[in-house]
Structure 1
Amino acid sequence: MHPAPLAATTRGYPATGYAVENIHYGSVAVVDAGGRLLYASGDPDFMTFTRSALKPFQALPFVLDDGPARFGLTRDELALLCASHSGEDKHVAGVRAILDKIGVDESHLACGCAVPLFYDFTGQPVPPDARFTPVHHNCSGKHSGFLAWCRLHGAPLDNYVAPEHPLQRAVRATLADCVQMDEAQLPTGLDGCSAPNFAMPLARLAHLYARLAQGANDPRLGAAMGDLFDAMTARPDLVSGTERTDLHWMGAGGGDWVAKIGADAVQAIGIRSAGIGIAIKVADGNVRALHPAVYSVLDQLGLLNAERRSLLERYRNPAIKNARGSVAGDIHAVFTLQSA
């Protein structure tokens, strides 16, 4: 099987109409909590680097070892361990609180330094005198959780992102067990924050989120999955940030949906009430095609009532505008889910 057309962009004039300019291919998998494929488009087994959609499961070894309780981490701080945050004041303060509780400082963070995502998503200018440190990086919450695992187990803090470090071996082993694959079947790559990332068939990622959405009802990892689901859905603003898609998806879900985006156009969503997980990958990594595809999946699955449609309308077929703000076309989904 191969990726299929997921979204098209158009270009033209209102008076004469719009023609298709680009087609973005990709794949969709919708899976139930037992791992059964329900619906698909393209290749549901497309081998996909999970990127930041993996974050709740990178925190899982720490949660399984009762780390949050051992260090007195709050539910909000657990949400930050799963976050691709925007570097807003509340995010930075939360990460610093975690580092303080585990007895390290931000010089130990190996994620690098980046301008906060807040400016990209709100359009606000970066202050000319702004100075940023690793806590502003969108992955600093995840890395604080990595360091917490090291402190919990007396593991070296140096080079904790190396694939051979005990922490990363624990993450890989836990993930392989969760998706019921041999570790050697999970391709490993270097993520943007310098931590190892893993690829898996798209349907396996969807299954992870179907299980995460069931929280404490997961038959194998109940309490840990429950803690992660509760933290993420209680504070989607900490998992993401102002004007971010995961904030909007989870907000529309009203505590029933858990969502996490990954770089290069990966999106995973778990729907508790429906007992399903959804995973989407745009093959060329173009994120502008991702959001209309997510909206379309939710719509085709009958998950959008009038209120949710209103909250998420911006993603249905967003306009493409030029530098003057004139509408040049749009982006819209072009696929129909097929029953497995």
Structure 2
Amino acid sequence: MMLAPLVEVIRGGRLESLHYGAVAVVNARGDLLYHAGDPDFLTFTRSTIKPFQALPFLRAGGHEKFGFDSRELALMCASHSGEAMHTQTVEGMLRKVGCDEHHLRCGCHVPMHFTVQDKAPPAGATFNQLHNNCSGKHAGFLAYCVQNGHPLDNYVEPAHPLQQAVRDSIAEVAGMSPSDMAMGIDGCSAPNYGLPLSRLAHTYARLAQGDQDPHYGSLMGELFRAMTLHPELVSGTGRSDLAFMQTVPGDWVAKIGAEAVQVIGIRSAGIGIAVKIADGSTRGLFPATISVLQQIGILPSAEATPLAPWARPQLHNFRGLHTGEVRATFTLTKDKF
């Protein structure tokens, strides 16, 4: 397992902590262009594969059958913050397919917008599965089951026809055999898959090409447009994916996953970028990802962009005193293919 030191945490001008990880940058053909560490590091994809978990539904024409608009497609790809704009949209999706919150199998957690704001929920506040960051994806899962007459109660089980179709779609987009993908269970109870980091980057290079994808064509285009038209629904107020997609609107499609995995597709450059921080800390993920964009010439400077606060975070203590910073220190290796 070859991991590279990617990000340093500095205190008093000296190294205090170090985040290791790996980076892969590939083109739409899957050729490796740049890397740091092991570009084929096995990485559980977590929420980064949500667009491809939606593909069976779109492929069967479900979005047309139920009248899902671009906002609802964006929620199918989202790790949302549980704000009203998210929960109300998901509730509408469920209503369109004849389901409601109790049909969901994603579980309930405190809405992410409280974490982002570093605030505790109001006293006596109650939440339900609509607030789960994956509820939009699960609403899409239920829609597929209703469309195809599949059972609703066990739709997250790996052997369910829905999850078999999802597995096959992910494998096809990644250019792999389904049997070669490691499987685990995600935080929302659905199956999740481990891919070589370069294969994960390739999926987003394909997503960014949208209508030009040789296999999924207009379906990839629908998902790309939905995500880039509504980045606030894909993530939420003050979130990193919103900042990435607002930096170059309509060109960058971005998705974070739990345990510090970030993937970005750049339409104009025809590339996909995947970054994994091995210890699962997002503290190192954002400076590393922004450094990749800078090193390959996509982002000359993060200053005066929505990414400025994420590029080199400054650390302060509880009295507001400056104590250090988080900074990317690696150099990408350019590959010949």
**What's the TM-score once normalised by structure 2's chain length?**
0.97
Which residues of 2 match residues 125-274 of structure 1 at below 5 A?
125-274=120-269
Please name the residue that 1:279 is paired with: 274
Please name the residue that 1:92 is paired with: 87
Instruction: Give a deviation string over 1:76-133, Cα, whole Å, max 9, x none.
Output: 0000000000000010000000000000111010000011001111233311121100
Shift of 1:154: 0.3
Shift of 1:307: 7.4
Which residues of 2 match residues 285-304 of structure 1 at below 5 A?
285-304=280-299
Shift of 1:250: 0.2
Of 181-190 and 305-314, deviating more is 305-314
Please name the residue that 1:63 is paired with: 58
Question: 2:80 is paired with a residue of what secondary structure?
Answer: coil
Given that 1:252 and 1:308 are in contact with CA atoms closer than 8 Å, whether structure 2 keeps it comes out as no
Question: 2:200 is paired with a residue of what secondary structure?
Answer: helix
Matched residues in 2 for 1:206 and 1:178: separation? 11
Matched residues in 2 for 1:302 and 1:131: separation? 46
| Pair 1:75–1:310, CA change in 2 (3 A) | closer
Question: 2:9 is paired with a residue of what secondary structure?
Answer: strand
Shift of 1:309: 4.8
Structure 2: state its 5+ residue gaps: none
Instruction: Give a deviation string over 1:167-188, Cα, whole Å, max 9, x none.
Output: 1011011111222212111011
- Name the count of aligned residue pairs: 335
Q: Which amino acid aligns with 2:57?
A: F
Task: Determine whether 1:338 maps to 2:328.
Answer: no
Question: 1:267 is paired with a residue of what secondary structure?
Answer: strand
Instruction: Find runs of 4+ consecutive structure 1 residues off by over 6 angstroms.
Output: none
Instruction: Give a deviation string over 1:197-253, Cα, whole Å, max 9, x none.
Output: 000000000000000000001111111100000000000000000000000000002
Q: Which amino acid aligns with 1:327?
A: H
Given that 1:87 and 1:135 are in contact with CA atoms closer than 8 Å, whether structure 2 keeps it comes out as yes
Q: Which amino acid aligns with 1:100?
A: R
Given that 2:25 and 2:271 are in contact with CA atoms closer than 8 Å, whether structure 1 keeps it comes out as yes
Q: Which amino acid aligns with 2:188?
A: C
Matched residues in 1 for 2:330 and 2:150: separation? 48
Task: Determine whether 1:116 maps to 2:111.
Answer: yes
Shift of 1:303: 1.4
Question: 2:242 is paired with a residue of what secondary structure?
Answer: helix
Q: Which amino acid aligns with 2:267?
A: R
Please name the residue that 2:11 is paired with: 11
Matched residues in 1 for 2:218 and 2:327: separation? 39
Please name the residue that 1:102 is paired with: 97
Q: Which amino acid aligns with 1:64?
A: R
Question: 1:169 is paired with a residue of what secondary structure?
Answer: helix
Shift of 1:308: 6.3
Question: 1:31 is paired with a residue of what secondary structure?
Answer: strand
What is the percentage of aligned positions where both structures have the same residue? Answer: 55
Matched residues in 2 for 1:185 and 1:310: separation? 40
